[in-house]
C-alpha cells in the first residue's frame, strides 16, 4: 500500500498558507546569498511562483526558468504579474529537462525535503549549472520545530496522531545539508539559519491558513468533530496572543550554498 503523499495542487491556497512564509524566508535567504544581478536562474520546485517573483524583484536576473511537478501551481505562477519574464514548465527535480551547464545559478526554495533522493536532485542541479555557478537551497527545520505549522503537528502527536512528512525529512537538518553539499564536491560550501516571524490578526486567522496546509489540512478535515475541537483548542493553547489580540508565529529554516567546480 502506497504511503499518502503531500500534494500541492491549489496555487491560491498555497499562496495564502505558504506564499507569505516563502517571501519572508526568501528575502533573508537572498540577503545572505548576495547574488549579483544579470544571472540566468533556475528555480526548481517553483510551485506557484512566490519565490520566483522574489528572485526577479531582488536579483534582476537576465533570464529565469521555473520547474514544478504541479500544473495547478504553475498555472498560478504564470498569472503572477511579477513573473512575466519567467519561463515555467512541468517537470521532475531528479530528471531536469535542461542541457548541461546552461544556468548561472540553481535554487530549491523550501523544496529539497520533497525530493525522494536529495543527493540525486543536487546532482541534477550541479549538472545544469555552469562551472563556477552557484547551487543553493533552504528548507524548514522540519524535525526540530522550525516548520510554520509546528504547533499543529505537536498537538497532533499529543493526540496520538502522526503528522504527514515529506519523503526526505532528514535533509532538513543543517548537518545533513552541509554533508550533502560537501560530498557532492561543491566548493566554498556555506550554511546559515533563517529565522522569520509572521503576524496574524488572531488565532482564527492562523487557524484558517493552517487548514490550507497540504501536510496537515487533509488530516484535519478527515477528523471527527470532537477530535477537530480537541486539536483546535490544543493548538490555541500552544500559541500566545499579543496584548492587542494579534498573534506572532515564528519559523526557522536552514540554508546552504556552494559553487560548482571547474
pLDDT of 76 higher than 50: yes
- Which set of grid coordinates corresponds to residue 2? 502506497
Tell me, yes or no, whether 171 lies in a domain: yes
227-231 long-range contacts, Cβ below 8 Å, gap at least 24? 227/159, 230/159, 231/152, 231/155, 231/156, 231/159
Where are any strands of DSSP class E within the chain?
A: 40-44, 63-68, 87-90, 103-109, 129-140, 187-200, 247-259
Tell me, yes or no, whether 160 lies in a domain: no
The model carries a pTM of 0.91
Tell me, yes or no, whether 120 lies in a domain: yes
Task: Please give the pLDDT value at position 154.
Answer: 95
Task: Please give the pLDDT value at position 193.
Answer: 98
Mean pLDDT of 225-245: 93
From the list 109, 167, 166, 172, the residue with the least C-alpha distance to 135 is 109
Tell me, yes or no, whether 202 lies in a domain: no
Tell me, yes or no, whether 104 lies in a domain: yes
Split at pLDDT 50, 70, 90, the class of 6 is very low
- SS3 of 85, please? coil
Beta bridge partners of 231: none
Mean pLDDT of 254-259: 98
CATH code of 117's domain: 3.40.50.150
Q: Count how many domains the chain has.
A: 1
pLDDT of 4 higher than 50: no
Q: What percent of the chain has pLDDT over 70?
A: 93
pLDDT of 17 higher than 80: no
pLDDT of 11 higher than 50: no
Q: Which domain does 21 fall in, by range?
A: 11-141+165-197+253-259
Tell me, yes or no, whether 46 lies in a domain: yes
Q: Tally Cβ neighbours within 10 Å of residue 75.
A: 14
Mean pLDDT of 59-85: 95
97-119 pLDDT, tens digit each: 999 999 999 999 999 999 999 99
198-210 pLDDT, tens digit each: 999 999 999 988 8
Mean pLDDT of 221-232: 94
Split at pLDDT 50, 70, 90, the class of 8 is low
Split at pLDDT 50, 70, 90, the class of 217 is confident
Tell me, yes or no, whether 5 lies in a domain: no
pLDDT mean across residues, the chain: 92
Lowest mean pLDDT: which of 10-14, 62-66, 159-163, 224-228?
A: 10-14
Between 143 and 18, where is the model more confident? 143
Tell me, yes or no, whether 102 lies in a domain: yes
Amino acid at each position: 500500500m502506497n504511503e499518502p503523499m503531500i500534494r500541492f495542487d491549489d496555487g491560491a491556497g498555497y499562496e495564502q498558507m505558504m506564499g507569505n512564509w516563502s517571501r519572508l524566508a526568501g528575502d533573508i535567504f537572498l540577503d545572505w546569498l548576495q547574488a549579483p544581478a544579470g544571472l540566468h536562474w533556475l528555480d526548481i520546485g517553483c510551485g506557484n511562483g512566490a519565490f520566483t517573483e522574489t528572485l526577479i524583484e531582488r536579483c534582476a536576473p537576465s533570464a529565469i526558468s521555473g520547474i514544478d511537478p504541479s500544473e495547478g501551481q504553475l498555472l498560478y505562477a504564470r498569472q503572477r504579474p511579477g513573473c512575466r519574464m519567467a519561463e515555467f514548465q512541468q517537470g521532475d527535480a531528479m530528471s531536469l529537462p535542461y542541457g548541461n551547464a546552461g544556468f548561472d545559478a540553481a535554487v530549491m526554495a523550501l523544496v529539497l525535503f520533497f525530493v525522494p533522493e536529495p543527493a540525486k536532485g543536487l546532482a541534477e542541479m550541479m549538472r545544469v549549472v555552469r562551472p563556477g555557478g552557484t547551487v543553493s537551497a533552504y528548507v524548514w527545520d522540519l524535525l526540530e520545530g522550525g516548520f510554520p505549522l509546528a504547533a499543529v503537528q505537536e498537538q497532533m502527536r499529543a493526540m496520538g496522531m502522526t503528522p504527514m512528512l515529506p519523503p526526505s525529512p532528514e535533509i532538513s537538518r543543517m548537518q545533513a545539508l552541509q554533508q550533502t553539499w560537501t560530498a557532492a564536491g561543491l566548493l566554498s560550501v556555506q550554511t546559515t539559519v533563517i529565522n522569520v516571524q509572521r503576524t496574524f490578526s488572531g488565532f482564527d486567522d492562523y487557524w484558517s491558513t493552517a487548514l490550507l496546509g497540504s501536510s496537515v489540512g487533509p488530516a484535519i478535515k478527515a477528523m471527527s468533530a470532537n477530535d477537530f475541537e480537541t486539536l483546535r483548542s490544543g493548538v490555541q493553547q500552544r500559541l500566545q496572543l499579543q496584548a492587542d489580540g494579534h498573534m506572532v508565529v515564528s519559523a526557522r529554516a536552514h540554508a546552504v550554498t556552494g559553487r560548482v567546480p571547474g
